[in-house]
Amino acid sequence: MFDTADDIHPLFEGAPRTTEFKKLRKRILRQTREAIEQYGMVERKGSDTPPRWLVCLSGGKDSYTLLAVLHELKWRGLLPVDLVACNLDQGQPGFPATVLPDFLGRMGVPHRIEYQDTYSVVVDKVPQGRTYCALCSRLRRGILYRIAREEGCSAVVLGHHRDDILETFFMNLFHGGRLATMPPKLLNEEGDLFVCRPLAHVAEADCDRFARAMAYPIIPCDLCGSQDGLQRQQVKAILDGWEANSPGRRQVMFRALMNARPSHLLDPKLFDFARLERSAGIVENSTDIRPRR
């Protein structure tokens, strides 16, 4: 399947030839393709024009992995969509503004770089000592929706992976009082754009190993200085501890999110407990009959 001289996408040039890396690459490709198919991420409307996806690229390990695997699937004829990468430069101090344009240009990836100084807005609005992430995320999402519309895209595609989904579930459980997480596919409030997460089944550790093995120019996600002490980091530490004590625990918990049983939870909006009725006849359970002594 992989890489002859005439059969390689530029994003995979220089890929390690080790058996370990080939297995990693195949696993990420398979899991991404499974998520795309399982959650119906590709619109099927019978049009001759393929849908167009805005692939959001932050410069972190996850978004590089997302970009590479989507282009690999498209290169192999397994993803019938047009892809345009987008990086939003939010004016964070120290952000290396030339890294992604240079990289995307070398890779021959269609892209758009957008500058919007949301950092100054967030610093002004968020009280001292509070984290910037929530407001920053809302502002970023609104800008990405606008760009997607301008680029004629039907979906905004994000690099959230399996561990992000698990962490969000436990953050909602511990701090939000609800059972909810990042869905692999959702419709925005306006109803004109999908938000998709093709890496929903991919482990964070695999994204990290892949991006570093490919030597992609990773940009850290802590330029704004607001990451320390986040609730997400606390949840991540808890999950790390569980995984260390019981390897594979993350995957078991993730499978549980795909196997919900409303009748065995407590939400009457999901299951009508009040209308449960016993059968007309009462059948005696023979196992409860004790012989006389």
Contacts of 118-123 with CB under 8 Å at 24 or more apart are 118/90, 118/91, 118/143, 119/90, 119/91, 119/92, 119/93, 119/224, 120/91, 122/224
CB 213 within 8 A of CB 16: yes
User: Where exactly are the structural domains of the chain?
Assistant: 10-275
CB 67 within 8 A of CB 55: yes
Query: What is the predicted pLDDT for the residue at 280?
Result: 73
Count of CA atoms in the C-beta half-sphere (13 A) of 12: 24
Bridge partners, 185 (sequence order): 196
Query: φ and ψ at 52, to 5 degrees?
Result: -120, 130
Contacts of 32-38 with CB under 8 Å at 24 or more apart are 32/69, 32/70, 32/73, 32/198, 32/199, 32/201, 32/202, 33/73, 33/78, 33/79, 34/201, 35/184, 35/197, 35/198, 35/199, 35/200, 35/201, 36/73, 36/79, 36/196, 36/198, 38/184
pTM of the complete model: 0.88
Query: What are the structure tokens assigned to 124, written together?
Result: 């002004």
Hey, what CATH class is 10-275 in?
Answer: alpha beta
Q: What spatial distance separates the first Cα and last Cα of the chain, rounded to whole Å?
A: 73
DSSP letter, residue 172:
I
Complete DSSP assignment for 79-132 = --SEEEEEEEE---TT--TTHHHHHHHHHT--EEEEE--HHHHHHHHSPTTS-S
Query: What is the predicted pLDDT for the residue at 194?
Result: 98
> C-alpha distances in angstroms, 184 versus 96, 143, 197?
30, 21, 5
Q: Per-10-residue mean pLDDT for the chain, 293 residues long?
A: 59 92 96 98 83 96 96 94 94 89 94 91 80 81 96 97 96 93 96 97 97 93 58 90 96 96 95 90 53 48
Burial class (CB in 10 A: 0-12, 13-18, 19+), 3: middle
Query: What is the predicted pLDDT for the residue at 5?
Result: 45
